[in-house]
Amino acid sequence: MIVKLSNVAQILGSAVPQGAADFEISGIKSPKTADEHSITFLSNPKLKSEIEESLSTVVIVKEGLSIPGKICLEVKDPYLGYARVAQLFEDTSPLFTDRISPDASIDATATISETSSIGPGTVIGPGVTIGERSRIAANCVIEKNCEIGEGCRIDSGVIIRWGTVIRNRVIVQSGAVIGSDGFGNAMEGSRFVRIPCFGIVIIEDDADIGANTTIDRGNFEPTVIGRGVKIDNLVHIAHNVMVGEDTAMAAQVGISGSTRVGKRVIIGGQAGFVGHIDIGDNSFIGAKAGISKSVEPGSKVTGYPARDFMTMRRIEAAQASLPSLLKEIKELRNEIKAIRSER
């Protein structure tokens, strides 16, 4: 794919140096692998020497920065600029075939847009609808009455259980299971009695679901993943959880049933949440945090059990001093004993 520099600059909202508008860009690469027709970026000033040595002609830089011998596209946030340009060069062609593979199994009542593609070995059940320009890869299972919107990417090996609603431009990576039964059981004496789930999962526009992530259906009301939510690999979201828009969570997060996570919450890897609590908007949850109670909007918490971020940092610093403190306490005890024995 060849793109003129003027088109790249327009995406970035950046000015084009005089005479460079028609310069051709063939892709975006790291400074070390770039050639003269690649574009690269500088988000960390410490790496400026790498850019200077790079073969790349064009660099996305922070406003006010210039690099001799390079065409610099100045933006407020070079890393954000990198993200926007990277999407320009992303391969969005069909994953296996430009239509429906003859090796796919499609129920006669399914409705699939003519602009969408279905890979080999995929099974699509009755009543399924798939919108325009969606790409379904190989060996996926999409059960009855699911809805998949426009511009979605469902990678190989995804299982989407019955009734799931996936809106537009959603990415679901390989191995994910959407709409599995929630973990609900009643006790009869010493035995468990399974509680069936009648709800569904709804995934709103522009959400990303990582590989091998599992999202359980609701008991009655749906489990909801909000617009723009970014979920890493190996995350578990239980029944009736609601995740607010533009929230992001790293790998191995586990969220128990009926917890509500607000908007723009950042959750570190391996954080765990009990059920039936509220996590306020704009919160930060540190990696490996154990969240046992609700978190106020704008809070920063970490640790197990989770406490205020700075409080936990002070506790951790104090823990590092425990061996020397214990030694001092022993010495003080010995001194006290010696004083008492002299009386």
Contact 56, 36 (CB under 8 A): yes
How many other CB atoms are there within 10 angstroms of residue 248's CB atom?
A: 16
Q: Tokens 């954080």 correspond to what residue?
A: 271
Q: Which amino acid is at 215?
A: I
Contact 147, 161 (CB under 8 A): no
Catalytic residue among 37, 236, 239, 276: 239
Q: Is 236 a catalytic residue?
A: no
* Alpha-carbon gap, residue 161 to 202, rounded angstroms: 12
* Alpha-carbon gap, residue 85 to 198, rounded angstroms: 43
Q: Which amino acid is at 80?
A: L
* Alpha-carbon gap, residue 204 to 231, rounded angstroms: 13
DSSP 106-128: E-TT-EE-TT-EE-TT-EE-TT-
Catalytic residues: 239
